[in-house]
Amino acid sequence: MLLRNGRIINNGEDFIGDVLLQDGRIEDISNTPISQNDCDVIDCEGCIISPGLIDIHVHFREPSNGCHEENIKAGIASAINGGFTTVCTMPNTTPAIDTPEMVQQTIDNASAIGKCRVLPTACATIGRKGKTIAPVDEMVASGAIAITDDGDVVEDHAMMSAVLKRCAKNNVPFMQHCQDPKTTVGGVMNEGDVQQQLGYGAWPRSAEETIIARDIQLNESIGAKWHAQHLSSGGSVALLRQAQENGQPISGEASPHHLLLTDEACRDLGTMAKMNPPLRQQHDIDTIKEGIADGTIKILATDHAPHPQHTKEKPFKEASFGIVGLDCALALYAKALIDDGVVDWTDMLSMMTCNPATLINRPDLGSLRVGGIADITIIDPNLTWTIDVNTFASTGRNCPFDGWNVKGKAIATIYSGILSHQTLRDRAQRCN
């Protein structure tokens, strides 16, 4: 397969050229035309040729014991529809992914489907209960690329230190769900004027910031890779920045909804705006964007969280937290960051390719190089479209961006040299 005359954006590089694929690998990359007979040719003029997009934070709900409609198959379909060739699944399933056998089962189930690279994370503690440390060494050996009790925080300080030491020993990141449970009892939305007017339970910024500050302190003498999931509070950015300046291997991720929506959406959209952590205020968004612009926050992740419709149709206090995001994330990031002048396409795609690959210790992913894996996303940055949840490949329809007019879309997803998804229209042809 020959990708012709596209804008190649690759780990900070940005130039017009061709990419030749052969047997699942990248055969050649050139800023001059590549001559090749007997191959499929895709005209990429006006489009971006990017390394396959990576999302380090998704929920595919398998296993679920019948609690969810989403599964690995539907999740993969959603991922490739959005241009993602690699995703990292969270272990807060039913039962939780807390044994090497369950890690391996996730890998096997995804491999049987193909089309997208599914890399499992695994629990820090048995059942995500924070009482007994999970077999971290064995789960990493089975293929877990990170450790997390996502959905819950490891509350006990001694337990958290023990987990960080295991992560450091195995050179895998710990991904923290930053929520102090003591301060979020009954909380369902951001503490503030809107919350008081609606009469819902308050979820303060301190719930996030307290855990970040604690973990930074615990990790100071351990030096594990530590990563803050779905940042929502502006105050968290300063904590991460200071820790990085002090030499700690600390990172964080931003999600589309925390870049585009404020707590006012809870008034306007109801349960479709119910998130964990909650939507904050404009000054939080502005501060997170500042953290992206100065490199404090280097990763974008969706926190793709499908729920059955009936769980979102409950009263706000009882409804499920979270939204789906894989199908439309790329355009939403472009709207939040490129249209707003925070970063350009080169920097934004680094946050979705090489930077997450570095965090999860996968140098074979996230970049285009001769001899490397042919995971590629072709993006039309100027394609305007309307988000329609009924076209999502995910089983979830819980998306507050339904009906939004956006720009930028993955028109082809190539996984190990094979087109796994495409809306190419007249761009593909055969060269003999």
Annotated catalytic sites, by residue?
A: 303
Residue carrying the six token digits 């198959």 = 73
Residue 317 tokens read as 């206090």
Query: Count of alpha carbons within 13 Å of 53, Cβ hemisphere only?
Result: 35
CB 164 within 8 Å of CB 220: no
Query: What is the Cα–Cα distance from 92 to 6, expressed in whole angstroms?
Result: 40
**CA R_g for the chain:** 21
Pairing of strands 418-422, 428-431: unpaired
Could you give the angle at which helices 206-219 and 234-245 cross, rounded to 10 degrees? Answer: 10
Residues sharing a CB contact under 8 Å with residue 247, sequence separation 6 or more, in sequence order = none
Burial of 264 (0-12, 13-18, 19+ CB in 10 A): middle
Residue 116: strand pairing partners: none
Residue carrying the six token digits 């974008």 = 300
Query: What is the Cα–Cα distance from 380 to 385, expressed in whole angstroms?
Result: 11
CB 237 within 8 Å of CB 231: yes
Reading phi first (left if > 0) and then psi (alpha if -120 to 50, else beta), residue 24 is in: left
> Where are any strands of DSSP class E within 238-328?
250-254, 299-300
Q: Which amino acid is at 364?
A: D
Length of the chain: 432
Residue 64 tokens read as 């679920």
Residues sharing a CB contact under 8 Å with residue 1, sequence separation 6 or more, in sequence order = 20, 21, 39, 40, 41, 42, 414, 417, 419
- C-alpha dihedral sign at 159, 164, 165, 166: positive
Residues sharing a CB contact under 8 Å with residue 295, sequence separation 6 or more, in sequence order = none
